[in-house]
Structure formats: structure tokens, C-alpha cells
Amino acid sequence: MTAAANRQIRLAAHPAGFPSETDFSRAETPVPEPAEGQMLCRTIYLSLDPYMRGRMNPGPSY
């Protein structure tokens, strides 16, 4: 059986203005095996809100 992949979208650079595809990178890592007393959850829905744009700036934003 093939190991499951954890597909990730990462912030590669702080956007200057409107975010573009080059500000992000894609990565795949193996899904970790949960240790005793832990559990693994799958993300079904993900929300991307306008508030998050300010969080992409360098330095404190909250």
C-alpha cells in the first residue's frame, strides 16, 4: 500500500501588494503515524478570509 501524502500550500514570500502564485509553494510530506494517545484528523473544509492577508505581512499584525 502506498503511504498517504500530506499536501501543503506554504507561504514562500511575503506578498508586496496582491498575493500571487509565486508567493506560495507546494510541498508533499508523508502523513505522520500518530503516537500512543494521539489521533490524526483530516481537513475537510478550509476557510480563507480577507483578514488573513494582513497576517502574511512580516512582523506582528495582531
Q: What is the count of structural domains for the chain?
A: 1
Residue 60 lies in a domain: no
pLDDT for res 1:
46
pTM: 0.67
Give me the phi and psi of 14, to 5 degrees please: -70, 120
Q: What nine digits make up the cell of 6?
A: 500530506
Domain span at residue 9? 1-30
Residue 41 lies in a domain: no
Residue 50 lies in a domain: no
- Who wins on pLDDT, 54 or 14? 14
Residue 13 lies in a domain: yes
Residue 49 lies in a domain: no
Residue 11 lies in a domain: yes
Strand stretches in 1-62, DSSP E: 5-11, 24-30
Closest by alpha carbon to 53, among 12, 13, 15? 15
The one-letter code for the residue type at 23 is: D
pLDDT tens across 3-53, in order?
Answer: 688 999 999 999 988 889 999 999 999 998 999 999 999 889 988 888 788
Residue 22 lies in a domain: yes
pLDDT for res 2:
56
Residue 20 lies in a domain: yes
pLDDT for res 62:
66
CB atoms within 10 A of CB 13: 13
